[in-house]
Structure 1
């Protein structure tokens, strides 16, 4: 009975669009290490977004990171030397782990990890 359930779960994880998008979510934290909450996006939300703002002058600097779900991607960025703002979007499961667009979780790796956990959980 466990094998068919595990195969069904793996197949569902490998098909895009079966489940709602899930993104990392936080508001105004100083580091990616402070952003460990998940958010299940609404059906209207198509993207995970990471917004970074930073400023520095002399020995003083500050940064703020916010993450969540959005229906439309407002991807942009500006850097004027002493201040910078960037908005990055992605559209796969927990893909906004950092501000880098190149980091994406592979659905096959996620499915294999889930199967391993199901095999260990009795």
Structure 2
């Protein structure tokens, strides 16, 4: 029994050495609840990434979340009020569980932008 357990442990440790990174994976999920699969990364992949793209206008809003292994991290984000996009990276197994939530649609910025547009348009006609 102890020999079988030691053999299984050695096999797992050997596999862990060959594939050192495991990331959560999904492609175009509407929320984090659609991202519960694991992906074994290749030797060239150094990061787990979460990509968030979302937008909204009026009563309509949409978002897409993708997760997986990547070799180079293009981490960053942009939020223009009605649309937002971000990429978050991390470098330990299963670390990309969050939804890159630091960038989300901001309705206050959207309202200020629309108000500024109206003021600009009305100001040009006065």
Question: What's the offset of the Cα at 1:36?
Answer: 1.0
- For the 8 Å contact 2:53–2:65, the answer to whether it is kept is yes
Q: How does 1:40-79 map to 2 (within 5 A)?
A: 40-79=40-79
**SS of the residue aligned with 1:56?**
strand
Q: How does 1:1-122 map to 2 (within 5 A)?
A: 1=2, 5=6, 18=17, 19-99=19-99
**SS of the residue aligned with 1:73?**
coil
- For the 8 Å contact 2:28–2:66, the answer to whether it is kept is yes
Question: What's the offset of the Cα at 1:70?
Answer: 0.3
Structure with more relative contact order (C-alpha pairs < 8 Å, separation 6 or more): 1
Range with bigger deviation, 24-33 or 91-100: 91-100
The structure where helix makes up a greater share of residues is 2
Relative to the length of structure 1, the TM-score reads: 0.68
Structure 1 CA distance, aligned partners of 2:54 and 2:34? 16
Relative to the length of structure 2, the TM-score reads: 0.66
Q: Report how many residues are paired.
A: 94
Question: What's the offset of the Cα at 1:99?
Answer: 2.9
Structure 1 CA distance, aligned partners of 2:91 and 2:100? 13
Runs of 4+ residues over 6 Å off in structure 1: none
**SS of the residue aligned with 1:97?**
coil
Q: Give the unaligned 5+ runs of structure 1.
A: 102-122
- For the 8 Å contact 2:52–2:85, the answer to whether it is kept is yes
Per-residue CA deviations over 1:51-86 (Å, capped at 9, x if unaligned) read: 000100000000000001000001010000000001
Question: What's the offset of the Cα at 1:96?
Answer: 0.5
Structure 2 CA distance, aligned partners of 1:44 and 1:52? 23
